[in-house]
Amino acid sequence: MQDIILDEKRGKILSVLLNKYIQHGRKLDQYEINNIKDIPCTKVIKQIFGVSTINDIWDEIERKTGTKLINIDDSQEIYTTNEKLIKDSKKIIGLEYVVKLRGFQYPNIANELGIYKQTINSWITERSKIPEKYLSILSKRFNVNEEILQKELSNKDKVFLLRAEIKRLESL
């Protein structure tokens, strides 16, 4: 239960920081993060994520989302949507992206489903398809379309899921 609460805290912090990243077009510094009212101060954030610097927080966000966060001035190869900020860094399927975006851990998801973590890994690496039984549960759990959970995501898909997550958190 405590892991689920920690996962939700990480997910909220992740989404707020990503929202601010989109608004500003860059990674925020410690002073700017400390002025965000919706999340704890950077000292607490570092403890929650188990990191020691602000850059480590941004690195952790990149790892969890599977997305390279770039400053607008840093690259000409950026995705041209309103955000102009999401850049492919690796192949990722919807389930992996959604789990990381929400800040969950695979062992917790596996435990909820009553399966082994290795089963989830086989879905993510596309060694096997997600069975309909679990696809339906995961779709409801994360409030996303079943199709998107199994497909390789484009930048447009990532932006769509990121926007949906930001809206979900704003409605809490």
* Backbone angles phi and psi of 38, in degrees to 5: -80, -10
CA angle 54, 56, 62 (to 5 degrees): 110
Rounded to whole angstroms, the Cα distance separating 29 from 138 reads 35
**1-172 topology per CATH:** 434 Repressor (Amino-terminal Domain) (1.10.260)
- The residue type at 53: T
- Looking at the chain, list the stretches that DSSP marks H as alpha helix, in order from N- to C-terminal side: 2-24, 30-34, 42-49, 54-65, 94-101, 106-113, 117-124, 132-142, 146-150, 155-170
Distance CA 138, CA 102 (A): 13
For residue 164 the two structure tokens come to 């949906």
Domain ranges of the chain: 1-172
Residue-by-residue pLDDT tens, the chain, 172 positions: 455 556 777 778 877 887 788 777 778 888 999 998 888 888 998 888 888 888 888 887 777 666 666 654 443 333 333 343 344 456 788 999 888 888 788 899 999 999 999 999 999 888 899 999 999 999 999 999 999 999 988 877 887 888 787 777 766 6
pLDDT at residue number 66: 62
What's the confidence (pLDDT) of residue 68? 67
Q: Taking Cα atoms as reference points, which of 9, 22, 16 lies closest to residue 159?
A: 22
The structure tokens listed for 61 are 């966000």
